[in-house]
């Protein structure tokens, strides 16, 4: 059975000519029916894309030829296309934290591969920090990790200044979904004088790919920023859905709530969502249902490799 190939990648590298680079990547993706999102900034490249296996393989070769020879890459697969469209954006940062690009040549954390990660975080003098958002850590995390309970990665700078600076002389091991957020945080931390900072190379996704279930220190599922919502340890689609009202993951318990309405609201957003927004979501859901009934093509309908 054929699957879509999903590639998640990033590289911190000082860049120029962002508009030209953006157009080249967009043209390649559109001509090869690749969907997803790519962010470009003067500090580097970040993206998650999905397409037919051969096309994703060619995309990786293409970006290497563009000069990204040290990409941090993770792969997974899915039967249904996990993206509705292609989005290429130029921003100040490839992952927003400082409101400006960093110098990619400066010092950053020491990368620790998946096979050495368990040994590192088992050491009693190591502080393990999850730099993801609270809605991500709620559904999965490493055992005994410190959770900042932030709503956005933009809050991480404040958290470091307020909560972590007292541990400058300690060993700090950070992780995130694919590695990019903890690497960005590490640039800032090294500037602030933190001594021993480590990051999980390739993030949770690479760890799950490399680590046997009987050896794992991971608990729960891993949130991902596409229509799969969350992944199990074997990188298959997890048990969570996404509330289209607030874009937060929702569990089976949430779906049993009287405040849950498919594609409209969940217990987290029902009381704060306006009737106007709820009605707009209902209309969108209705149009998708009509397209299904009439067998019409729709951007929002699931697509398998056979009908893509």
CA dihedral over 119, 123, 127, 130, signed as positive or negative: positive
**Run of H or E residues at 191:** helix 180-191
For residue 251, give Cα distances in angstroms to 77, 139, 268.
Answer: 22, 9, 11
Report whether 227 contacts 242 (CB < 8 A). Answer: yes
For residue 235, give the nearest of 208, 204, 202, 201 by alpha carbon.
208
Give the active site residues.
176
Sheet of 110-112: strand order equals 110-112, 196-200, 171-175, 126-130
222-255: burial string, b at 16+ Cβ within 10 Å, e else: bbbbbbbbbbebebebbebbbbbbbebbbbeebe
The 3-state DSSP class for residue 30 equals: helix
For residue 265, the Cα-to-chain-centroid distance in whole angstroms is 23
Report whether 242 contacts 248 (CB < 8 A). Answer: yes
Please tell me what DSSP assigns to residue 166. G
3-state secondary structure 243-280: CCCCCCEECHHHHCCCCCECCCECCCCCCCCCHHHHHH
Please tell me what DSSP assigns to residue 151. S
Please tell me what DSSP assigns to residue 47. E
Position of tokens 């992780």?
175
């Amino acid at each position: 059975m054929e699957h879509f190939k999903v590639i998640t990648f990033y590289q911190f590298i000082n860049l120029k000519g962002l508009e030209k680079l953006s157009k080249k990547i967009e043209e390649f993706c559109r001509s090869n029916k690749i969907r997803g999102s790519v962010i470009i900034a003067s500090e580097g490249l970040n993206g998650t894309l999905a397409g037919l296996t051969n096309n994703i393989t060619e995309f990786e070769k293409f970006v290497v030829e563009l000069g990204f020879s040290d990409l941090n890459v993770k792969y997974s697969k899915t039967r249904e296309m996990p993206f509705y469209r292609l989005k290429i954006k130029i921003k100040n940062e490839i992952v927003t934290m400082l409101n400006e690009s960093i110098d990619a040549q400066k010092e950053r954390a020491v990368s620790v591969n998946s096979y050495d990660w368990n040994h590192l975080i088992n050491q009693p003098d190591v502080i393990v920090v999850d730099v993801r958002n609270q809605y991500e850590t709620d559904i999965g995390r490493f055992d005994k990790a410190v959770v900042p309970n932030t709503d956005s990665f933009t809050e991480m700078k404040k958290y470091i200044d307020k909560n972590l600076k007292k541990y400058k002389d300690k060993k700090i091991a950070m992780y995130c979904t694919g590695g990019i957020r903890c690497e960005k945080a590490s640039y800032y931390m090294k500037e602030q004088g933190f001594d021993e900072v480590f990051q999980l190379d390739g993030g949770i996704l690479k760890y799950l790919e490399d680590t046997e279930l009987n050896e794992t220190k991971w608990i729960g599922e891993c949130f991902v920023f596409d229509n799969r919502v969350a992944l199990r340890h074997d990188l298959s689609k997890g048990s969570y859905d996404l509330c289209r009202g607030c874009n937060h993951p929702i569990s089976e318990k949430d779906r049993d709530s009287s405040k849950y309405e498919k594609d409209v609201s969940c217990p987290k957003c029902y009381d704060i969502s306006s009737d106007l927004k709820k009605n707009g979501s209902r209309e969108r859901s209705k149009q998708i249902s009509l397209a299904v009934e009439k067998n019409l093509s729709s951007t929002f309908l699931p697509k398998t490799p056979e009908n893509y």
